[in-house]
């Protein structure tokens, strides 16, 4: 089942804006661990988030209309039917500049939903630390997801919880997805 979830995550992230395993790095344990969780910090990814436990880092070059784009993904599989992930990709600045950020993220959202065979619910546009963000829930036949897209200059972050059969628990969305923050 783990391979199915990882494969599904790769499809979901799919670099719709238009894996080779490497060792885990970048966990900083907070001075006080909250509810058994670890504060995850990615210096290269320039973000922090509360994973339920230590994620696995993978990298893959994904072919796109713009050429190969490197996707870096961090994933924690809570159980065989639920996974937490953060992925990011840097796009050529020329493909982003001059375009409306929310339109780009809408395109990503539609790509995720199409690849997943899901319908969107609760779509919201807002800003995270002055960067455009788009959140949504997706309901598919086999899997459901709570998803957040954040566009920081030419880097697209994708934060998601994937769960078989039902939407992720609101408490998990709050403690994981809503804990996402950008760093320098």
| Residue 68: CB atoms within 10 Å | 11
pLDDT in tens, 109-129: 998 899 879 999 999 999 999
pLDDT in tens, 138-181: 999 999 999 999 999 999 999 999 999 999 999 999 999 999 99
* H helix and E strand count, the chain: 4, 11
| Residue 63: CB atoms within 10 Å | 9
Q: Where are the domains of the chain?
A: 2-182
Question: CATH code for 2-182?
Answer: 3.40.1000.10
pLDDT in tens, 94-106: 888 888 899 989 9
CA distance 31 to 176: 18
Closest CA to 105 of 126, 81, 142, 133: 133
């Amino acid at each position: 089942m783990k391979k199915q979830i990882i494969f599904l995550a790769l499809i979901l992230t799919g670099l719709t804006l238009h894996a080779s395993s490497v060792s885990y790095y970048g966990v900083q344990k907070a001075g006080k661990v909250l509810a058994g969780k670890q504060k995850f910090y990615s210096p290269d990814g320039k973000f922090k988030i509360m994973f339920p436990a230590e994620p696995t880092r993978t990298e893959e070059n994904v072919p796109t209309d713009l050429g190969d784009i490197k996707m870096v993904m961090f994933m924690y599989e809570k159980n065989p039917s639920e996974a937490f992930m953060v992925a990011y990709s840097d796009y050529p600045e020329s493909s982003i500049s001059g375009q409306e950020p929310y339109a780009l993220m809408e395109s990503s959202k539609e790509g995720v939903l199409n690849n997943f065979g899901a319908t969107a619910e609760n779509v919201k546009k807002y800003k995270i630390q002055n960067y455009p963000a788009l959140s949504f829930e997706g309901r598919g036949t086999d899997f459901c997801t709570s998803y957040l897209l954040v566009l920081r200059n030419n880097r697209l972050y994708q934060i998601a919880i994937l769960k078989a059969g039902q939407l992720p628990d609101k408490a998990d969305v709050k403690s994981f997805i809503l804990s996402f923050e950008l760093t320098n």
